[in-house]
Amino acid sequence: MAESAEHTFLSETALNIMEESANSQLFGCRESGRKKFDFSCDLTKNWTRAVSGQTLWRHDRDGIDKDLRTLLTDDEAAAAVYVARDAVATRGRVEEIIRDYRRSPLRESLSKLRIFWIPADFDADDEKARTVVRAGLRNDVYRDLLMRVALGGITSQDVRNFAISGRLGLPVWLLVQLGRDEYLDNYTRASKRYGIGIPSLKEEILRLELIGILSREESKYYGLIQVTEKGRAMLDICARLHNYLSGKREEGEEFLYICKLLGIDFTTLHPDGQVNFSFYEDNKDGIPFGHSADNTALMLSCLYYASQNGPLEWNDRHFALPDR
């Protein structure tokens, strides 16, 4: 049976959204061989995350079972995406299959499944309907796929916990140094190298460990402190924001959209969003800091004070497209 216009639109749109999201320059995206899937791609950073996807519009019960089995048995995929028509019968069948999988050896593969529901009355020939559905699908893909799979699971709460340190600017300064050095194994040497007192260094490292930005590998002979995947994402976001606030570059829609999902929206401070470090210097007495502040003000303060501590040596982007 030929694909419906809705099926074709949804498959192409899901892939197009992921490809456009790479304009954020926080990760790369490349379409991979579709093989048995309706759409598939690789999301890359220092690692590769394969995404496989199926689209459901007119399938019967057996078609839904086949789709989900195809997705969940794909060992190469870190994320399995099902873009599905939101009908009562469909939801019932999907829930029934998921219950069966929870009792099977494949139950662990359910953690990679993401289902994006599309209104059942969607008509691909209606331009307004296409616009509405694309916007909703874009929000779902960014929030539940890109943020969790390509950006280490970073959330707006992570951003808040990161930036709210009482030592203004220290989280950014420390993350930059650790990102450059790759690991820390001696507090005395790190204290001298980073210009941070040992007590402050230890306390800040512990705080960043607790929120998942850093991790510690302990052994009998040494302990290594490293930046996690979530921390790498935070580091890249800080680098892009620092350039933006320093007036060194404009930022595209995709990066600013990700920032908004993380609670960083400069239009909350100025109507056109044209905020920089000079703006902060002129208005910082009126911008709250602390638990009453939002993520925008917290990150602006944190990046500003980090920049006052000395030159920030940002690494190159932490991803690269693999060779074909």
Output the pLDDT for position 322: 41
pLDDT digits (tens, 9 = 90+) for 147-184: 888 888 899 999 999 999 888 899 999 899 888 887 78
pLDDT digits (tens, 9 = 90+) for 90-141: 999 999 999 998 998 888 889 999 999 999 999 999 999 999 999 999 999 9
pLDDT digits (tens, 9 = 90+) for 46-82: 556 788 999 999 877 778 998 998 899 888 888 899 9
Tokens 């030159």, residue located: 311
Please name the residues in contact with 294: beta carbons below 8 A apart, sequence gap of 6 or more.
263, 268
Sheet architecture: strand order including 223-227: 183-184, 223-227, 214-218
Please name the residues in contact with 292: beta carbons below 8 A apart, sequence gap of 6 or more.
none
User: What distance in Å separates the CA atoms of residue 295 and residue 27, rounded to the nearest whole number?
Assistant: 22
The encoded tokens of residue 263 equal 């609670």
- List the end-to-end C-alpha distance of the chain, in Å, as a whole number: 33
pLDDT digits (tens, 9 = 90+) for 15-30: 999 999 988 888 888 8
The encoded tokens of residue 78 equal 């870190």
pLDDT > 70 in the chain, percent: 92
User: What distance in Å separates the CA atoms of residue 44 and residue 41, rounded to the nearest whole number?
Assistant: 10
The amino acid at residue 54 is Q
Distances (CA, A) of 258 to 28, 138, 290: 14, 11, 23
Instruction: Convert 88-110 to b/e letters by CB count within 10 Å (16 or more is b).
Output: eebeebbeebeeebeeeeeeebe
Among 259, 238, 241, 237, residue whose Cα is nearest residue 250? 241
pLDDT digits (tens, 9 = 90+) for 196-244: 889 988 899 899 999 999 988 765 445 688 889 899 899 999 999 998 9
Q: What is the mean pLDDT of the chain?
A: 87
Give the predicted TM-score (pTM) of the model: 0.86
User: What distance in Å separates the CA atoms of residue 307 and residue 180, rounded to the nearest whole number?
Assistant: 16
User: What distance in Å separates the CA atoms of residue 14 and residue 80, rounded to the nearest whole number?
Assistant: 12
